[in-house]
Amino acid sequence: MGDLNEEETGREPLKPKDAASHLLDECRMVLPGIQALFGFQLIAFFNQGFAGKLSPAEQALHLGATVAVAVAAGLVMTPASLHRQAEPMAVSRRFIATASAFLLASMVPLSLGICTDVYLVSHMVLKDTPSALAIAGGLFLFLALFWLVFPRVWRRD
């Protein structure tokens, strides 16, 4: 297939400055959700029922989920830090590619953290490991489909 022009695709290319602005806005949109989830995860550690309702292994799983969400927050905040320190007065295509990679990379630990906590909650409510695993696994597939697969299919069209 030949290259399609702007009129045929309905897309117009962004200038690097505008692309960077959009990218940083996307990071700002994702971050409050991550922060809220992280806050709820931390509250659980200080809840009186935490030690009583979760086995030591489940407590370790929750700790792992909390660390995964913290890693996701760090990855989402890295583009702003990178821009401020490396290119405060300019925007390069290298910055856009690197910052995009950090934002996309954050989706992996974020989905793992969310799904691990959904497993723990499902297990507490249902008292059934296979069902809890099915719920968490289904959620992981859902997130992978909409966060990773769907955008790549969309890009091809």
Give 106-120 pLDDT, tens digit per residue.
999 999 999 999 999
Q: Is residue 28 part of a domain?
A: yes
**Paired tokens of 73:** 């927050």
Q: Is residue 65 part of a domain?
A: yes
Rounded mean pLDDT of 42-50? 84
- Say if residue 16 is exposed, middle or buried (CB neighbours under 10 Å; 0-12, 13-18, 19+): middle
Q: Is residue 128 part of a domain?
A: yes
Q: Is residue 60 part of a domain?
A: yes
Q: Is residue 7 part of a domain?
A: no
Question: What is the domain count for the chain?
Answer: 1
CA 11, CA 5: separation in Å to the nearest integer? 9
| Pick from 83-92, 119-128, 147-156: least confident | 83-92
**Global confidence as pTM:** 0.83
Q: Which domain holds residue 136?
A: 14-156
CA 134, CA 62: separation in Å to the nearest integer? 18
Q: Is residue 76 part of a domain?
A: yes
Q: Is residue 24 part of a domain?
A: yes
Q: How much is the pLDDT for 2?
A: 47
Q: Which residue is associated with the tokens 């989920």?
A: 65
Q: Is residue 3 part of a domain?
A: no
